[in-house]
Structure 1
Amino acid sequence: MLSYQHAYHAGGPADVHKHIALARILRALTAKPRGLTYMETHSGRGLYNLNSVESLKTGEAAEGIAIADLGDEPFAETLSLVRDLNGPNAYPGSPWLAASMLREQDSMHLMELHPAEHAGLCEVLPGADIHRRDGYEGVTALSPPDPRAGLLLVDPSYEVKTEYAQAGAFVRNLMRTEWPEACALVWYPILRAGRHAELLAEMAPLSPVVHEVRFDLKGGTGMLGSGLAAVNLPRGVELG
């Protein structure tokens, strides 16, 4: 399915949860001098306007970044930078966040299958290695990357019910065969159906670190919470 567009959810509480953790991991990985590889399976368009029709329609940013206290989080620096460059309503997607924190010796490979999201991402990050292809297939094809140390973000829409198990199995298989050196961060929504249990069951052999937050989005009619499962976290990094 190619109907999902993240602009409706940009800056919501789930995004803030994910981006705080992502920035913490990137800060830790880039503290070491050696180069690293950053890859994403589902990148989106990379940059969002929280005053857009899509964002205002859901109002999720008002329940997320608008009320978040970032303190001295690494993500606070990225948010400040993106707004200095793009205005006070700008919000970075994970590709923009990563690009702002990576160094010259690092590499980045982004997968996005949706045609409009892919086109938007190419505009936001011209010159980046962006692929319009299935994210699972693309990351597998590029693995193991050079440098082999690095970070993989798996962040699908989960529009298709089977994708919970698919995402978990993908990470398990990739890290057992093609890219065992990677730190993998998987985001998932917590819904009433509880299908994220399938994802965690698939990842269980990797002993992931799991962090979940609960919230009352849209008066309880939306997501019940946001979850992160990570493997090979850098020493000292906490997801929440």
Structure 2
Amino acid sequence: MLSYQHIYHAGNLADVHKHSLLAWTLDYLTRKDKPLSYIETHSGRALYDLDDAAARKTQEAAQGIARVSDWFTPDHPYARTLAAVRAAHGPEAYPGSPLIAAELLRDTDHLHLAELHPREHAALDLAMSPYPATCHLRDGLELAFALCPPTPRRGLLLIDPSYEIKTDYDTIPRTVAKLARAWNVGIIALWYPILTSGAHKPMLNALSGAHPQALRHEVRFAPARPGHGMVGSGLFVLNPPYGLDKEAARIARKFAALA
């Protein structure tokens, strides 16, 4: 959705959930000396300033990464990436998923990042300029359909919509099924919000019914402010790598203790 700006939410608890598991997965994949493809459908600007007025307005990062950074030891790939980005850009910098991927992947890997918002895409292009990544000003799902199966065939696709387009909840199960048929060996990871309205539930029921072997992982947390409808974060992962379920369980215990 062209009105969506992630700066208001960067570094919140949903980002901690999503980004820590993404970083763990990419670190795991790069242990094997074989190139891989990384595709992201809704990239945002990749680099966020948590001292920005928009971030300070919502205070979501203060309730998120600023509060729980001690969940991750210095050698955890999420902590390593955060430290590297802050060393380069300042103590209030926060990496979005494209920058996390770029920091963890290698020159032999292929990064394709889609962003449709013109200003966000311009910021994405600038943030990614030091890295071997291709930034597409294009609808991300169209890009995914065009690339899958990618070369190299080994790799990960992250689908991370804003869900401001309410029909996403209806269309995503068909989208994931089509992409899974095209790229049956790829890791396909979908992020979704846990909502008090329950709008996500039919989508998850459809996905779970069609892909019973997928990893479905959810965490809950308090709303960012009174009346805010998101009370948790979910990841639905096809072809999850070995050990991701254990890392997800570790993160779940941290969230449960926080609650």
Matched, 1:85 2:88: yes
Q: Which aligned pairs between 1:66-145 and structure 2 lie closer than 5 A?
A: 66-68=66-68, 69-72=70-73, 73-126=76-129, 128-145=133-150
Counterpart of 1:194?
Answer: 198
Tell me if the contact between 1:35 and 1:106 (Cα under 8 Å) persists in the aligned partners: yes
Q: Please report how far the alpha carbon of residue 105 of structure 1 lies from its aligned counterpart in structure 2 after TM superposition.
A: 1.5
Residue 194 of structure 1 and its aligned partner are, at CA, apart by 1.1
Deviation at 1:210, TM superposition (A): 1.0
Work out the number of aligned pairs and report it. 239
| C-alpha contact (below 8 Å) 1:43/1:111 kept by paired residues | yes
C-alpha distance in 2 between matches for 1:199 and 1:31 = 33
- Is 1:175 the counterpart of 2:174? The answer is no
Matched to 2:41, the amino acid is T
* Structure 1 runs (4+) greater than 3 angstroms displaced: none
Q: 1:219 offset after TM fit, Å?
A: 4.1
1:221 aligned to 227, 234, 244, which one?
227
3-state DSSP of counterpart to 1:217: coil
Q: Distance in 2 between matches of 1:236 and 1:218?
A: 30
- Equivalents in 1 of 2:122, 2:206: separation in Å? 33
> Does 2:10 align with 1:10?
yes
Q: Which residue of 1 aligns with 2:52?
A: 52
Distance in 1, matches of 2:183 and 2:116, equals: 22
Q: Secondary structure in 1 aligned to 2:65?
A: coil
Give 1:167 deviation, angstroms. 2.4
Matched, 1:36 2:66: no
CA contact (8 A) 1:118 1:132 kept: yes
Name the stretch that deviates more: 30-39 or 68-77: 68-77
Correspondence 1:211 to 2:213 = no
**Percent pairwise identity:** 50
| Structure 2 unaligned blocks of 5 or more | 252-259
**Structure 1, residues 171-210: CA drift from partner, whole Å, max 9, x if none?**
121112x111110111111111112113213322122211
**RMSD across aligned positions (CA):** 1.2
Task: Note the alpha carbon deviations across 1:13-33, whole angstroms, 9 max, x for none.
Answer: 000110011011101111111
Unaligned residue ranges in structure 1 (runs of 5+): none
How far the C-alpha of 1:168 sits from its partner, in A, is 2.7
Greater shift, 188-197 or 76-85, is seen at 188-197
TM-score, normalised to structure 2, is 0.89
